[in-house]
Amino acid sequence: MANALTTAIGRINSTGNTPLALTTDQNGYDAKYGTYLKLFSGEMFKGFQTNTIARDLVTKRTLKNGKALQFIYTGRMDASYHTPGTPILGTENALPVAEKTIQMDDLLISSAFVYELDETLAHYELRGEIAKKIGFALAEKYDRMIFRAIARGARAPSPITATGKLEPGGTQIRLTDTGATDGSGAYDSGALVNGFYDAAAALDEKGVSGQGRVAVLNPRQYYELIQAVNSNGLINRDVQGTALQSGQGIMEIAGIKIYKSMNIPFFGSYGTKYGTASATNPGQTSPGLVGSHVSETMEDADIAEGGINNDYGEAANFANSCGLIFQKEAAGVVEAIGPQVQVTNGDVSIMYQGDIILGRLAMGADYLNPAACVELVAGVATASTEGTGATTVGNVKF
């Protein structure tokens, strides 16, 4: 009886010949199962891309053959009337210039060891699930660092400090419901809507482009806007029916597209903060049985912390932060190694009877143009500052 013509779906460059017809190289481990890890790799990237939103909302650059990337700022130029008969020779210091350097943080990793026997006995596919969770872990850290950088930018002056050429700095807007001194304004839909219009006006006044303006809110803030759509003055043609019920009814306010994330700085934490209203608490009652992941304590992330080469701020400085509104120029992120997956094999796999599955990336982030950064705060007039040279006018800090 003739041998069956095997469809060798695991072999690289195989046309489905029988194993006996394959060369020794094609029967090697890497060749026989060469395509099987592609599913895992795809799952990892899918997990990362599904969970991260900040990557495409800011300025991203790829870093090659270096440890840092330089961004150049240029300020405004003056215009004047020409006097007949006088030569035009240019203006001294006509274009003020400054720079911003974003360092590369150390390698960020997430890994798991998969024991071969566990894979054999498990009734479900193990590696794909691990891959997604690795992608989620990397994306979570990625977003958090970028959002912290934007919040710091909202408190910073412009890097352009030439005499007579001062540029606008960041903006902080206090959310308040009828002048409350606690953090309850963070969940007040009317205060949020007013905050959006104040932010849009501030960005306009500072000459920030209207293209690429976005906001990132805590999920409860986002849903509060949707629930109160009939009373908060927000009009949107998609607020009824399926769009409202799916949680996607609020698309934008004042030309600012809205996203929700558990990774923005929120009263010194990530996620949702429950408890009694105070200067550092919005006063949201817990709905009951919730997991500890709902509110995760924010860690210090300055240069003194291991592996961090950019300053993302002390946790205490975000005690009153409760939302971000920004434009694409607000922050920059540099990547030396994009999200990748690595898996052990060969002698290592034999020695441990399993594989280490590793997701990794190398990135760094910092604010670029403070004028494009707006931080929503509640509970105090302004959050802790990390820059000088700014002034406060009403509820808006310039």
**Is the pLDDT score of 179 beyond 50?**
yes
Q: Which two tokens stand for residue 298?
A: 């924010």
CATH number at residue 242: 3.90.1690
Please name every residue paired with 265 in a beta bridge, in sequence order, or none if there are none.
270
**Better-predicted residue by pLDDT, 255 or 22:** 255
Stretch 57-73: mean pLDDT, rounded?
A: 83
pTM confidence score: 0.80
**Is the pLDDT score of 153 beyond 90?**
yes
Residue 12 lies in a domain: no
Pairing label, strands 97-103, 321-326: unpaired
Calculate the CA dihedral of residues 206, 207, 213, 217 and round it to 10 degrees. Answer: 0
38: left (phi over 0), alpha (psi -120 to 50) or beta: alpha
**Better-predicted residue by pLDDT, 329 or 178:** 329
Mean of all residue pLDDT scores within the chain? 78
Domain that holds residue 177: 37-72+96-397
Please name every residue paired with 256 in a beta bridge, in sequence order, or none if there are none.
253
Residue 23 lies in a domain: no
Residue 278 lies in a domain: yes
Quote the number of domains for the chain: 1
The pLDDT tens digits of the residues spanning 196-225 come to 999 999 999 999 999 999 999 998 999 888
Residue 300 lies in a domain: yes
Residue 236 lies in a domain: yes
**Is the pLDDT score of 114 beyond 50?**
yes
The pLDDT tens digits of the residues spanning 248-304 come to 446 788 889 999 999 999 999 998 888 888 888 888 887 776 665 677 888 888 887
Quick one: pLDDT at residue 232?
Answer: 58
Quick one: pLDDT at residue 35?
Answer: 55
Quick one: pLDDT at residue 389?
Answer: 38
**Is the pLDDT score of 16 beyond 70?**
no
Residue 16 lies in a domain: no
Residue 3 lies in a domain: no
pLDDT band at 41 (very low <50, low <70, confident <90, very high): low
Cα dihedral sign, 137-140-143-149: negative
Quick one: pLDDT at residue 159?
Answer: 81
Residue 296 lies in a domain: yes
